[in-house]
Structure formats: structure tokens, C-alpha cells
Amino acid sequence: MIDLNKTLFENAKERTLVCAHRGVSGADIPCNTLSAFKAALEQGADIIELDVSKSRDGKFYVFHPGMESAHLGSPLRLSALSSKVIKRLRFLNQDNVPTVNSVNTLEEILTFLKGKCYINIDKFWTDIPGITEIIRKTGVEKQVIVKTDTKEKYLEQVKKYAPDFMFMPIVKDEDNITDLLTKQGINCIGAEVLFESENAAVCSDGYIKQMHEKGKIVWVNSIVYNYRSVLSAGHTDNIAVTGEKDRGWGWLIDKNFDIIQTDWCLMLKNYIDERRVK
């Protein structure tokens, strides 16, 4: 069980932390739903990642923009729909059959997760001031991890509206920004790193050691949402769950990454525990 009275860095020093990508989904439980988040907690997720969309009338929902057709059977984006219409929508299961799961508001989900785990809000850049307001309203500031890419317009908004939130820039291959962000007054606790090659600077022993010496976290992704998009040099959920855990997750753990984002929460948790016993 994660100890929210400790810092994220302190928790990560004890063991590799597991982030459940959009919760835990499968069969009749769709991703980004209250059911998926409950399942993630049951499977021991330390962090739950969720996505945010904004309705036509300015309300925030937990939903991945652009997935409306696949997950809801809707030809229109949530950004084109009113809250009244969104409330009538139901998620589809893996057989494309409607479920009982509605699209929850961000406020509903944050209220449910309060005090239970860390929360990574993806798509924070959708509306940084607006999402920040909901985070503060629900009182989960100390649990929330927010990330954006390194575009100046996003970083300026983080600095203005959410300088106290745990923040990670998303960097690919090289990290030339975390030190700068700290100097600018942003609570930069580390970086999410993407790399296609094992030779990338952000997965080098030297970089990770240096980040740890500064008290910073390095987050890596083993998820595969498109096989053409390489996020961690091929060390993925796919190879881990099909018989090569050491080459998939083991390599990432041996590199001393602090957080692994996965779609297979329980299997990864069990693997981490098994390695610690040996």
C-alpha cells in the first residue's frame, strides 16, 4: 500500500512503483471508468493514470480525446457535445456491447480517489487553469502528478496556475529541461522519458543516477498503444506478459526506473514482489 504521508521519491526508493494506465480494464470493464479505477486499487496500483476531455459547455470528463468512436460508439468528440448528451452515453465493452458505465466527471473521479493513491492526470494541457481548479476543489493537490510536453506555452501556464503540483515534463531521448524548470519555480519532481533505443541518454545509468542524486523521479512506460510508437526501446508489456518478463519489465527495473506505467497492473506487481523475495 502506498504511503501518501511520504514523498513520491521516498516511496519510489523502497520499490518500483506501478502506474495503472487508465485503470485496469478488460472484458466488461472499460478503461477510464470508475469500475476500472476500483479494479486498479484492488490490484494494488500505486498510481492511477486517467485522461481528461472537456465538453462543449466547459465541463471536464474522464475520457481520452479521440477515442469516442472506439469506446462510446459516438461519431462526435466530447468537445462537440453538451454535458446533457454526455451523461446519456455508455462505454462499450471489449465486444463492442454497451455497458452500465457512464462517462464520469473529473470531479467525481478525483473525489473517489482522494486519499487512496497517486493520480496522474493526462491531457492536463487540455485546460490547465480549469483542471487545476477542479484539483484544488477536490483537495487532491498532494496526490496529483501532472505532465505536459516542453512547449513554452504549457510550462508558462503550469508556472502560473499550478507551480506547487508535482510536475514532470515529457522528454524524448534527451532531458535538457528538468533543472531549468526547478530554477523557474515549478515543482519539477522528475521526468517521463520516452526512448526508441537503449543508447538514448534518458535511459543511461548515468542520467538515472544523476536524477536520483537530485531527488528526482524517472518515469517509464511499458504500455503499447500502437506498436509503431516505441516508448521504451521494445521493453514492453507485450513481451512481458507473453513469457519474457525479464526482458520486458525486468530490464526497466534493473535500470532503476522509479515508475512503470502498465496495462497489466497485477502481473507487474507480482513480478516486482517476486524479484524482491529472491
Q: What is the pLDDT of residue 1?
A: 76
Q: What is the pLDDT of residue 190?
A: 98
Per the CB < 8 A criterion, the answer to whether 51 and 32 are in contact is yes
Confirm whether pTM is higher than 0.75.
yes
Domain parsing of the chain, residue ranges: 8-53+106-277
Count of Cβ atoms closer than 10 Å to residue 141 Cβ: 13
Per the CB < 8 A criterion, the answer to whether 177 and 198 are in contact is no
Cα distance between the two ends of the chain: 21
Count of Cβ atoms closer than 10 Å to residue 157 Cβ: 18
Torsion of CA 230, 231, 235, 239, to 10 degrees: -60
CA distance 186 to 183: 7
The three cell numbers of residue 4 are: 501518501
Per the CB < 8 A criterion, the answer to whether 104 and 61 are in contact is yes
Residues whose CB falls within 8 Å of the CB of residue 117, separated by 6 or more in sequence, listed in order: 2, 4, 40, 41, 45, 46, 47, 48, 143
Q: Among 3.40.50.970, 3.40.470.10, 3.40.50.150, 3.20.20.190, what is the CATH number of 8-53+106-277?
A: 3.20.20.190
In this structure, which long-range contacts are made by residues 112-116, counting pairs with CB atoms below 8 Å and at least 24 apart in sequence? 112/34, 112/37, 113/37, 113/48, 113/140, 113/143, 114/138, 114/139, 114/140, 114/143, 115/4, 115/143, 116/41
CA distance 25 to 207: 34
Per-residue tens of pLDDT for the chain, all 278 residues: 799 999 999 999 999 999 999 999 999 999 999 999 999 999 999 999 999 999 999 999 999 999 999 999 999 999 999 999 999 999 999 999 999 999 999 999 999 999 999 999 999 999 999 999 999 999 999 999 999 999 999 999 999 999 999 999 999 999 999 999 999 999 999 999 999 999 999 999 999 999 999 999 999 999 999 999 999 999 999 999 999 999 999 999 999 999 999 999 999 999 999 998 76
Residue with cell string 528526482:
216
CA distance 111 to 109: 5
CA distance 62 to 105: 6
